[in-house]
């Protein structure tokens, strides 16, 4: 994997803050060597070979501070910068390996998504996410589960999916012992205990524990965009969820049924109200 060379600091103990706009996502060197798994490109073949270890999960280099392992010496050297606290996010305190990684991380707080799909206009915060998304349009899903035939466009997604069949949940919360199939799920769960809400709205004072919640808040509260159109009438909606509920008016679908009687409802909230008033539940 290629890593950017960081400028030397006169005081490694001090956090180093940068502006996102000062970081460029690309340079213009020829990159003829392409990874067949994630589409990342490299200027040299040996760099591609090192990068491939990410997908094979071969980790040969271990950090002496935290015991995390890496597929290359460069990855380990870059990681060690985290322990110096030099590239520290002023929003949530997370320490990153370098200025490039800090700039990428800060997009979680800002909600910035500068990379747009040329086919469907969906936007992404990282170029590699756009590259993976593009396979949706090409239909390329090279990684197939041998147990259920479900296919994926990333090897990592297949690896995580296999836990559905094996029941493997290797990530455990040390505070309540709840276990999870992915590290990301554990990280999000930990905020239940810490109360951490690192994602702050730039338009009001609200904060959120997950970046997705922040993005939904911005769409629902601060945006007038209504991109979801009802196929039966001219009404438009801010979210797919609102549209889904509305369409049931036209189709007559009532998926929420009472376990005490034959009443059915279009919305979960209507069922809860019915249970409380008619069957004294929750009172």
| Domain ranges for the chain | 20-112, 169-222, 228-279
CATH class assigned to 20-112: alpha beta
- Give the separation between CA 215 and CA 200, rounded to whole angstroms: 10
Whether 191 contacts 209, CB under 8 Å: yes
**What average pLDDT score do residues 116-141 get?**
78
Element (H, E) at 276: helix 268-279
The half-sphere exposure of 75 on its side-chain side, counting CA atoms within 13 A, is: 17
Tell me the percentage of the chain whose pLDDT exceeds 70.
81
**Which token pair is 57?**
């999960």
CATH 3.40.50.720 fits 169-222, yes or no: no
Over residues 226-250, the pLDDT tens digits come to 888 999 998 998 888 888 889 999 9
Tell me the percentage of the chain whose pLDDT exceeds 90.
8
pTM for the full model?
A: 0.36
Whether 199 contacts 208, CB under 8 Å: yes
Q: Is the pLDDT at 64 greater than 70, yes or no?
A: yes
Whether 200 contacts 207, CB under 8 Å: yes
Residue 46 backbone phi and psi in degrees, to 5:
-65, -30
79-83, 91-95, 108-112, 175-179 — most confident range? 175-179
Q: Give the residue, 178 or 73, on which the prediction is more confident.
A: 178
CATH 3.40.50.2000 fits 228-279, yes or no: no
C-beta neighbour count of 9 within 10 angstroms = 13
Q: Is the pLDDT at 1 greater than 50, yes or no?
A: no
C-beta neighbour count of 37 within 10 angstroms = 18
Q: Is 29 left (phi over 0), alpha (psi -120 to 50) or beta?
A: beta
C-beta neighbour count of 46 within 10 angstroms = 9
Q: Give the residue, 89 or 17, on which the prediction is more confident.
A: 89
Please report the pLDDT score of residue 63 as a whole number: 78
């Amino acid at each position: 994997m290629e890593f950017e060379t960081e400028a030397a600091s006169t005081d490694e103990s001090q956090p180093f803050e940068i502006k996102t706009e000062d970081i460029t996502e690309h340079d213009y060197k020829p990159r003829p060597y392409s990874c067949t798994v994630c589409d990342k490109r490299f200027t040299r073949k040996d760099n591609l070979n090192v990068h491939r270890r990410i997908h094979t999960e071969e980790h040969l280099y271990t950090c002496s501070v935290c015991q995390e392992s890496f597929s290359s010496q460069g990855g380990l050297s870059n990681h060690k910068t985290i322990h110096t606290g030099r590239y520290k996010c002023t929003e949530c305190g997370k320490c990153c390996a370098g200025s490039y990684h800090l700039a990428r991380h800060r997009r979680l707080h800002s909600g910035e998504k500068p990379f747009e799909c040329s086919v469907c206009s969906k936007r992404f915060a990282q170029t590699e996410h756009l590259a993976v998304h593009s396979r949706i349009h090409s239909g390329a899903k090279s990684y197939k589960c041998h147990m259920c035939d479900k296919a994926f466009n990333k090897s990592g997604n297949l690896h995580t999916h296999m836990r559905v069949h094996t029941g493997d949940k290797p990530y455990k919360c040390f505070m309540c012992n709840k276990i999870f199939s992915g590290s990301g799920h554990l990280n999000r769960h930990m905020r239940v205990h810490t109360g951490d809400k690192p994602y702050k709205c730039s338009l009001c004072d609200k904060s959120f524990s997950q970046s997705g919640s922040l993005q939904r808040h911005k769409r629902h509260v601060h945006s007038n965009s209504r991109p979801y159109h009802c196929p039966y009438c001219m009404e438009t909606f801010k979210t797919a969820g609102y549209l889904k509920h509305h369409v049931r008016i036209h189709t007559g679908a009532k998926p929420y049924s009472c376990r005490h009687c034959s009443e059915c409802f279009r919305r979960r909230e209507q069922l809860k109200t019915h249970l409380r008033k008619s069957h004294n539940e929750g009172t």
